[in-house]
Structure 1
Amino acid sequence: MTSKPPFPPFTLETAIQKARMAENAWNGRDPQAVALAYTEDSRWRNRSEFIIGREEILRFLKRKWAKELDYKLIKEVWAFTDDRIAVRFQYEWHDDSGNYYRSHGNENWEFSETGLMRRREASINDVPIQESDRLFTWGEGPRPLDFPGLTELGL
């Protein structure tokens, strides 16, 4: 993939579109497809891990979804300008022992002129929850269009 619209400079509408596209892709949990949204030399900070390049991103995503089972994510645009978007997000998952978590985070994104993400800075905290406290209850794949977002869920 050499480009991924919408392209910068972003408007509120295109920033929201870009965030929803990212959310949908991550909810698909296909590391290969997700990795293609980043430049070949994309630079990440994910928690305390520093990742450089699409191949490292691919390995990271495979590890992530092998550990974070039944992963479901919601993203919400916080701010945007020209070639950057800031989002807040939460995702729910469980480990192989049946312990459930809601992970809360913020990401800062920077895009190339081709719409691929060239930089991602993510700060994330995991909060243990009971299975009965889960709020992200749709089936597999992307969040349905009529399923509430973070603000509507009171998160």
Structure 2
Amino acid sequence: MAGAAVTAVLQFATHSIDGDYVLTALGVILGMAAMSTTLLGLQAFLGMAGSALGGALMMLLGNPLSGLATGPHWLPDGWATIGQLLPPGASGSLLRTNAFFDGTRAGLPALVLTAWIVIGVAFVLLADRRGRRSVVSQSDATDSTEAADASHLASVSS
């Protein structure tokens, strides 16, 4: 919903982008999903350290290297490449290509964003699996403690 709303404001209210609304909205939605899923996954897997790492990765590294304001071709080659492999850079490239160039060369940014979504979901699943293992371990410990208490009570009462 947020991606569709942002695209509607950019296209119909401010007229700052042009092109096919649906194609552009899908690109914005993919970019938002990539960034939010990655941040959610890092937070689920690493806790507050994951939030800090995700914030630093997206805001402090990704935004300046995205080339969103000018285009990645204005950045030095190595930095531009890194920037386009992070969600802010890939989102900006996908928005630019969908809004102004009818989706020409949108494949690579869409693939990069999809990879970040997969990485984020993988971190969430790993965190969930780790959490289930600790719950199973705790329940096993509780079961063995209850069994020990029951055998102790049986020996005391006899």
- Using structure 2 for the length normalisation, give the TM-score: 0.26
Q: Which has the higher helix share?
A: 2
- Using structure 1 for the length normalisation, give the TM-score: 0.26
